[in-house]
Amino acid sequence: AKAIVLTENPALPAAQKIKIRNGVENRGKRVRVSGWVHRLRVQGKNMTFIILRDGTGYLQCVLTDTLCQTFDALTLTLESTVTVYGVINELPEGKTAPDNHELTVDYWECIGKAPGGEEAMSNKVNENSDPSVKYDLRHLVLREEKASGILKVRSQVMKAFRDHFDNRGFTEVTPPAMVQTSVEGGSTLFELNYYNEKAYLTQSSQLYLETCLPSLGDVYCLAESFRAEKSHTRRHLSEYTHCEAEMAFISFNDLLEQLEEMVCDVIDRTLAHKPSAEIVYKLNPSFKKPERPFLRMDYTEAIQYLKDNDIKKEDGTFYEVGEDIPEAPERAMTDKINRPIFLCRFPAEIKSFYMKRCPENNALTESVDVLMPGVGEIVGGSMRISDLEELMAAYIREGLDPNPYYWFTEQRKYGTSEHGGFGLGVERYIAWLLNLHTVRDACLYPRFTGRAFP
Ligand code: 4AD
């Protein structure tokens, strides 16, 4: 048999190069589209269907007769790259395809063929693969619909945070990632050799944001934070994206209002983007916008709640006031209450050095954790100490040398103000929105205990 060689018909109009997302407005015109073969279905000798993927969407392409009888057509494999030429037409009633249309191919080229058989991508990694294989082959897993869908929503969520703050007059800043002071205690610091000096990867940009208030007013950042976590849980990462904000001349109540407004506004903005909304409801069909106002609960009430609901420690005893509420009981309580909770006013001894005390009870702090059903804590925030003497005493109490913090301390010297802020874990927010089992799936290339590759 003579090999079939395809040529483009010179009598046809020139094909305009388009992306799949622009398919609908380009129906009826001759176009060309390049992408990866996502699905492949050979239907007899005279018809082959390709679902093409280009990162902007999926497009059904139909190849007929000689178009599907070339050597390249007969040996085509999933994940190969192709350019197809032809016209996109709406599908008749009863047929379904992405965007309800398909491209009738009149000419096509294979750009790069992917291996089939043993070496085929689907053979190396698929839904049934061991999690560690999935992380080793994350660069291939990203091609799957779920993994890429999550990243698309993530992109919109990040944009929504920026739009939220920009709309309210906040200035975005980019604080350093390499630092020489800790914010959240020494136990989770990643240390590095900085020109033979000790330095760390930042745990939080909070202290730097506080220094911006006198010059920029309300500020925020979306930056990476790093934690050398000992806990190997489905909500802990070694590197995560931290959305932090800081505001001057506010009260604790203002802080809570701003937080609630942000959590809800970011959902509204994300769902207003139609492709993201589709992914949200596909991955999390029962998603409902949280009801406002969020439940406000004090830490001491939570300790009582755990007792009343028989939620105990592993050793069978109850949590007592003054103890940290770990992940398991926090989750149990949040899932049982099943709505967002502002857990407020933690005892000073279990919180960070910079937190302001409650005017009504000096043992407690004006602090808040936002707890979401399914994930637990997604935000930590507080009012900050505004008095210089009180701050100096806090360093001493926590065993911190005040010297390296001089730049932070001087904010209390050169015109102090009541102020407060918070940090939200973007991966945890996404895990809640999309009902993901682990925050790792909300990352491009997750970093957690034992993994810093690929
Ligand atoms: O509660 P955290 O430690 O608070 C701070 O770092 C404050 N300095 C923030 C501020 O007020 N500007 O962390 C804040 C949030 C947590 O609620 C959680 O969502 C996220 O950061 N987070 C992590 N996310 C993933 N992996 C980890 N290891 C995380 N540690 C904290």
Q: Atom 23 (ligand 1): residue with closest C-alpha?
A: 425
Sign of the CA dihedral running 73, 79, 84, 87: positive
pLDDT tier at 113 (50, 70, 90 boundaries)? very high
pLDDT of 356: 98
Task: Report how far ligand 1's centroid is from the alpha carbon of 241 (Å).
Answer: 9
Residues in contact with 142: Cβ distance below 8 Å, sequence separation at least 6, in sequence order: 148, 151, 444
Q: Atom 4 (ligand 1): residue with closest C-alpha?
A: 380
H runs (alpha helix) in 53-192: 71-74, 121-124, 131-136, 138-141, 145-167
Task: Report how far ligand 1's centroid is from the alpha carbon of 379 (Å).
Answer: 6
Q: Is 340 in the pocket of ligand 1 (CB under 6 A)?
A: no
- Taking the CA of residue 421 as reference, the ligand 1 atom at the shortest distance is 11
Pair of tokens at residue 21: 């997302």
pLDDT tier at 417 (50, 70, 90 boundaries)? very high
pLDDT of 53: 98
pLDDT over 90 (residue 127): no
pLDDT over 60 (residue 158): yes
Q: Is 210 in the pocket of ligand 1 (CB under 6 A)?
A: no
The mean-pLDDT minimum among 90-99, 253-262, 361-370, 424-433 falls in 90-99
Q: What mean pLDDT comes out for the span 304-328?
A: 94
Q: Is 446 in the pocket of ligand 1 (CB under 6 A)?
A: no
The interface predicted TM-score (ipTM) is 0.99
Q: Is 421 in the pocket of ligand 1 (CB under 6 A)?
A: yes
- Strand 341-344 to 367-372 pairing: antiparallel
Model pLDDT for residues 194-238, shown as the tens digit of each residue:
999 999 999 999 999 999 999 999 999 999 999 999 878 999 999
pLDDT tier at 429 (50, 70, 90 boundaries)? very high
SS3 call for 105:
strand
pLDDT over 80 (residue 2): no
- Taking the CA of residue 245 as reference, the ligand 1 atom at the shortest distance is 12
Model pLDDT for residues 280-296, shown as the tens digit of each residue:
999 999 999 999 999 99
pLDDT of 80: 98
pLDDT of 1: 56
Partners of 258 in the beta sheet?
Answer: none
Model pLDDT for residues 331-384, shown as the tens digit of each residue:
999 999 999 999 999 999 999 999 999 999 999 999 999 999 999 999 999 999
Model pLDDT for residues 17-28, shown as the tens digit of each residue:
999 999 999 999
DSSP 272: T
Q: Is 204 in the pocket of ligand 1 (CB under 6 A)?
A: yes
Q: What mean pLDDT comes out for the span 166-178?
A: 98
pLDDT of 232: 82
- Taking the CA of residue 238 as reference, the ligand 1 atom at the shortest distance is 28
pLDDT over 90 (residue 3): no
CA dist list (Å): 321 to 181, 325, 337, 343, 444: 30, 10, 20, 14, 39
Q: Is 240 in the pocket of ligand 1 (CB under 6 A)?
A: yes
Q: Is 423 in the pocket of ligand 1 (CB under 6 A)?
A: yes
Task: Report how far ligand 1's centroid is from the alpha carbon of 18 (Å).
Answer: 42
Q: Is 229 in the pocket of ligand 1 (CB under 6 A)?
A: yes
Q: What mean pLDDT comes out for the span 124-150?
A: 95
Q: Is 206 in the pocket of ligand 1 (CB under 6 A)?
A: yes
Task: Report how far ligand 1's centroid is from the alpha carbon of 182 (Å).
Answer: 13
Pocket test for ligand 1, best of 211, 227, 325 (most atoms within 8 A of CB): 227
Q: Is 273 in the pocket of ligand 1 (CB under 6 A)?
A: no
| Mean residue pLDDT across the chain | 96
Helices (H) then strands (E): counts for the chain:
13, 19
Task: Report how far ligand 1's centroid is from the alpha carbon of 172 (Å).
Answer: 19
pTM of the model: 0.95
DSSP 289: P
